[in-house]
Amino acid sequence: MISANYLARNAAFMMRSALMTRSRKQQDKPQVWRANTRPLLLIALTGLIGGGIGIFPVIAQAALYRWTAPNGDLHYSDNMPSSQAERGYDLINPLTGDVLKHFDRAKTPQEIAAEAAAKQARIAAIKAQEEQARKDQALLDLYSSTDDLIRARKQRLVELDALINQAQDALKRTQERMLSTHSSEALAAQRDAIQLRKNLAELNDRRDDTVMQFARDANRLQQLLANKNTLEGK
């Protein structure tokens, strides 16, 4: 009596033979080789039915490799060249020819670097959005209207102008000290004048930055309040 394992091995061999004898250069017409190999598959399945359906698991475990060679030829085999793993391949079901699992080709260093750069760009974009959302919320928490912002701007500029006036007065007094007939006093006044000019320049820069920042905040606040009113139906 013929054993189930014997039938399974022979059926699997016939199915693999049917698949491996079909080699072509294009992979976009799988229905062609399936149709051509149908007679052999039917013979193999007939043997399986005669030997009992219990041997189907034995066949199902024997997947085939399918890959496309560098010259474009399509290959099927129990064994695959190790070099092919980097080019990509499929594991297919010898019973149906369906793809059980697809393995993509190995990525080039350039592709890996490009993906890493794209990932970093996405992360940076997300962080920028989160930071902008934080600033927007802080702006809404500080000012309920543009009038509030204008008052805050005016107050801040008054404070900076007072500091600038103080620095200018101190520099004027120091310049008068530089006219002293005492060399030691004049030298000390020169050193003080250098520092005062530096402080005055920093205060003027701070005032300019404050004006520009309030202008940006005013534009952004107008947008946020307009969006808020639109959402609230005002």
Model-level pTM? 0.53
89 forms beta bridges with: 103
Measured distance CA(101)–CA(124) in Å, rounded: 35
Query: What does the pLDDT look like over 62-82, one tens digit per residue?
Result: 689 999 988 889 988 888 888
Whether pLDDT at 50 is above 80: no
Segment among 30-39, 91-100, 104-113, 130-139 with least mean pLDDT? 30-39
> Higher-confidence residue: 58 or 158?
158
Residue 181: the pLDDT is 66
**What is the percentage of the chain residues whose pLDDT exceeds 90?**
49
Q: What are the chain's domains? A: 4-103 (no CATH), 143-231 (1.10.287)
Residue 94 half-sphere exposure toward CB, CA atoms < 13 A: 30
Neighbour count for residue 7 (Cβ, 10 Å): 20
Burial annotation 72-103 (CB, 10 A radius, 16+ → b, else e) = eebbbeeebeeebeeeebbebbbbebeeeeee
Segment among 12-21, 175-184, 214-223 with least mean pLDDT? 12-21
**What is the percentage of the chain residues whose pLDDT exceeds 70?**
72
